[in-house]
Amino acid sequence: MVIVALLAGVAVWVWTGPDAAAVRLAGLVPGRRKFRFTSLVRRPSRSRRAEVWRRASIELCQALSAELAAGRTPGEAMARAVGAVGFPDPASPRPLLAAARDGGDVSAALLALAPGAGGEGLRRLAACWNVSVTAGAGLAALVERVATTLRHAESHRQDVAAQLAGPRATARMLAVLPALGLLMGAGLGMHPLGFLFGSLPGLACLVAGTALDACGLWWTHRMTTQALHDVTP
């Protein structure tokens, strides 16, 4: 019965756990973040960190565009924009801030700041800065165009995430059905755990069922993650 209770607890946790859309909504709406036990045992996922960097890139482009529209020089505008953006790592933009203030290579600093996942906006901004410096193109117009593109891409990414919430919830439901079946069988006095752990055919069924269940969850996660990854600005 202890194992049945543990399985039931896992089933309840998987069933009631937050989906990707709920997590994104909580991150976008101020004051909606709540303490979760999982925050003590799990670091932010790679996709979550990439999302934070994408939002920081959009904020940087918007702030830079506003500063340039106010008539400030590119270096001064970048320095003020960097100070107005909340980056995931507060120490990471220091080289960029120094380059903007001292007349250094801002484009190289942006490329160095951009992470592998979620740094697409920073790399585009670096390209705009490089074109403005070498070809004399209007930086304000280029930055505004990048900001618009990033906003549209992020909006589309949020729409895709909301559409994927349904398949993810269905996969979770299907994953917990075997545990609920064991619980129901134990309640009816059928002793399913005795069969699963007390005989060779039962062990074979347990291993095969667990493997198939895990493969189903992994495949669903892989497809949804790839769908979100394909949404590129």
Q: How far apart are the first and last CA of the chain?
A: 52
Last residue of a domain, one of 148, 166, 196: 148
User: Per residue in 15-74, pLDDT tens?
Assistant: 444 444 444 444 444 443 443 333 333 444 777 888 899 899 999 999 999 999 998 899
Q: Is residue 9 part of a domain?
A: yes
The residue-averaged pLDDT of 10-19 equals: 46
My answer on whether 15 and 107 are in the same domain is no
Considering 15-24, 163-172, 223-232, the range whose residues carry the highest mean pLDDT is 163-172
User: Per residue in 95-130, pLDDT tens?
Assistant: 999 999 998 899 999 999 999 888 889 999 999 998
Question: How much is the pTM?
Answer: 0.60
Q: Is residue 210 part of a domain?
A: yes
Burial of 30 (0-12, 13-18, 19+ CB in 10 A): exposed
My answer on whether 53 and 144 are in the same domain is yes
Q: Is residue 40 part of a domain?
A: no
My answer on whether 143 and 65 are in the same domain is yes
| Alpha-helix runs per DSSP H in 70-138 | 74-84, 94-102, 106-113, 120-135
Residue 137: pLDDT above 70?
no
My answer on whether 140 and 158 are in the same domain is no
My answer on whether 104 and 172 are in the same domain is no
Residue 188, domain extent: 2-26+154-229
Q: Are 92 and 113 in contact (CB under 8 A)?
A: yes
My answer on whether 174 and 208 are in the same domain is yes
User: Per residue in 189-200, pLDDT tens?
Assistant: 778 888 888 888
Q: How far is CA 91 from the centre of its chain?
A: 21
